[in-house]
Amino acid sequence: MIALDVGGTGMKGAVLDRSMKTIASLRRPTPRGDGPDAVIDGISDTLLDLERLAAEQSLTAHDAGVVIPGIVDERRQRAVWSANIGWRDVPLAAVLTARTGLSVTLGHDVRAGGMGECVLGAARGAQNVLFVAIGTGIAAALVCDGQPVHSGGFAGELGHVVVRGGTDCACGGTGCLETVASASAVATAYTARSGHPVAGAAEVAALVEAGDPAAQAVWNRATEGLTEALATVTTLVAPELIVLGGGLTEADRLLLDPVRDGLAARLTFQRVPMLVRAEFGDRAGCLGAGLAAWQAAGHRIPTTPPTGASAS
């Protein structure tokens, strides 16, 4: 089974066995700066490279799961819209199947990540879960009473909830959470505030730990915005568990502690959800892509976590 998680910044691919253990993996940048057609070319090339990696392990791949950001209609297998990549209403599964010869199942990156965490990871056994991926953008997957919420592909756009301190967003709106608390927004805000460019949010997190006041101000704004958005979702749908994933969660307690404390202070009558870090880190989307393809091929989804999986 081939799995590919396409993000706004990078692509994470893997060859998985029946237990969802990673046999081989690769990472490469997403060529979104060259336009949506170049991204499709990049996805096709990466799938073929993963097929070759499978062949090197004496494995034959027939099926592939590909998950992408934006609005995804899983029923019609179309990429409806993405602010970060720029495509609109592309029959992406059919295009990729034609180019690669693989049977491609298309899904939403964050819903796939949520599926991975709910089936095999940090949310195993929970019936009401909010999974939030914080990377180039921010999106969420929602499970209510054991059922994933799709709403035609439009559910879960947490990054476009308006919060205080938000600025103009690529979606055309103003004040979106993504402009405050995404990894890209954190890095951009620190550069603007301090005048010192940084490579990414991880560098800002390190500067917070070192006591840099500009980094602390940017980080505080990000965690406050995230807390505000999560409090709104908690009031509406009452998740028992919130799982935070994506690149920004590499900061671990530096992110989770202020958000956890902020929710406890902000919520009054609402059920205060448990807040945890995703078990599979930024690999959740890739694992979920594999699960979706495995299920689409008619196989039973495994219910035990993969062992010995590569984290590369």
pLDDT tens digits along 262-276: 999 999 999 999 999
Structural domain for 235, as ranges: 122-277
Residue-averaged pLDDT of the chain = 92
Whether residue 144 sits in one domain with residue 270: yes
Mean pLDDT lowest among 68-72, 177-181, 193-197, 211-215: 68-72
In a domain, 305, yes or no: no
Reference 226, options 199, 245, 204, 198; nearest CA is 245
Whether residue 90 sits in one domain with residue 39: yes
In a domain, 304, yes or no: no
pLDDT tens digits along 181-193: 999 999 999 999 9
Does the pLDDT at position 153 exceed 90?
no
Please give the distance of CA 145 from its chain centroid, rounded to a whole number: 22
In a domain, 310, yes or no: no
In a domain, 302, yes or no: no
Whether residue 289 sits in one domain with residue 145: no
Buried b (16+ CB within 10 A) or exposed e, 67-101: bbbbbbbbeebbbbbbbbbebeebebbebbbebbe
In this predicted structure, what is the pLDDT of residue 303? 63
CB atoms within 10 A of CB 125: 7
Give this prediction's pTM: 0.83
Whether residue 148 sits in one domain with residue 94: no
Whether residue 144 sits in one domain with residue 96: no
Whether residue 154 sits in one domain with residue 241: yes
In a domain, 133, yes or no: yes
What is the average pLDDT across 61-88? 90
Whether residue 149 sits in one domain with residue 94: no
CA atoms of 253 and 63, how far apart (whole Å): 38
Query: Domain of 158: which CATH number?
Result: 3.30.420.40
Does the pLDDT at position 233 exceed 80?
yes
CA atoms of 134 and 15, how far apart (whole Å): 24
Mean pLDDT lowest among 7-11, 38-42, 87-91: 7-11
In this predicted structure, what is the pLDDT of residue 25? 94
Whether residue 133 sits in one domain with residue 105: no
pLDDT tier at 252, thresholds 50, 70, 90 = very high
Whether residue 241 sits in one domain with residue 141: yes
Mean pLDDT lowest among 22-26, 89-93, 199-203, 243-247: 243-247
Whether residue 272 sits in one domain with residue 189: yes
In a domain, 271, yes or no: yes
| Beta strands in the chain, from DSSP E residues, in sequence order | 2-6, 10-16, 22-29, 63-68, 71-73, 78-81, 88-90, 103-108, 129-134, 138-144, 147-148, 241-245, 274-277
pLDDT tier at 307, thresholds 50, 70, 90 = low
Whether residue 133 sits in one domain with residue 11: no
Does the pLDDT at position 312 exceed 50?
no
What is the average pLDDT across 244-258? 92
Whether residue 134 sits in one domain with residue 93: no
Reference 128, options 138, 119, 136, 118; nearest CA is 118
| Contact indicator for 129, 118 with CB cutoff of 8 Å | yes
Number of domains observed in the structure of the chain? 2
What is the average pLDDT across 132-156? 89
What is the average pLDDT across 171-188? 95
In this predicted structure, what is the pLDDT of residue 197? 95
CA atoms of 157 and 108, how far apart (whole Å): 11
Does the pLDDT at position 246 exceed 50?
yes
